[in-house]
Every structure is written in C-alpha cells, then in structure tokens.
Amino acid sequence: MPKGYWVSVYRTISDPEKLAAYNKLARLAVDPAGGRTIVLGGRVVAYDAGIAERTVLVEFDSFEQAVAVRDSAAYQEALAALSDGVERDFRIVEGID
C-alpha cells in the first residue's frame, strides 16, 4: 500500500507565536496517529517557481491515514490556533508503491 505524505511549503510566516502554538497542537494530532516528520524546516534551495521558505514533510503509512489525520478533530484544533499566522501551500500526496 502506498504511503501518504503531507507536504507544506510556507510562503510567509506573519505570526511566529501562532505557528508555535500550531506546532505543539499538530504534533499531538500527528504523532499518536503514526505520522513521522521527515523534514521540518532546514536548508532549502528553490528552483523554478519554488519558494525558499520553511518546508515540512510528514509521512504516514497510507494516503487514507494522511487524509484522516488532516480531517481529525485534533488537527482541526491545531489549524484553528494557526489561523492567519502563515500563508502556506499544504497538500497530501500518495507515494509510489
């Protein structure tokens, strides 16, 4: 079964305090559900139309699990804390089996 991945690329971070609150709550949703953070910030080199900002990659055992965690009440609480503190491109993608 192909794995599922959350891919977040932050365009701007306008409120670091909201991002910090989101990070704490998001871990409470992701970690118990089996999500594994593979990339969290770090160095970025962007090409083409890419943005060299914070990038986060989280791996789940399946695409369905990745979607379910995104839709969970615990993660919705994290999103409420984040609110308008960032502008980001968030997507869930299916890995290669």
91 DSSP assignment: E
Which CATH code is given to the segment(s) 4-94? 3.30.70.100
Cα–Cα distances (Å) from 36 to 72, 80, 83, in that order, read: 17, 22, 23
Q: In the chain, where are the structural domains located?
A: 4-94
Of 85, 95, 91, 87, nearest to 25 by C-alpha is 85
pLDDT, tens digit (0-9, with 9 covering 90-100), for 49-80: 888 889 999 999 999 999 999 999 999 999 99
d(Cα 42, Cα 56) in Å, to the nearest integer?
A: 9
d(Cα 22, Cα 9) in Å, to the nearest integer?
A: 15
Reply yes or no on whether the pLDDT at 41 is more than 90.
no
pLDDT at 97: 78
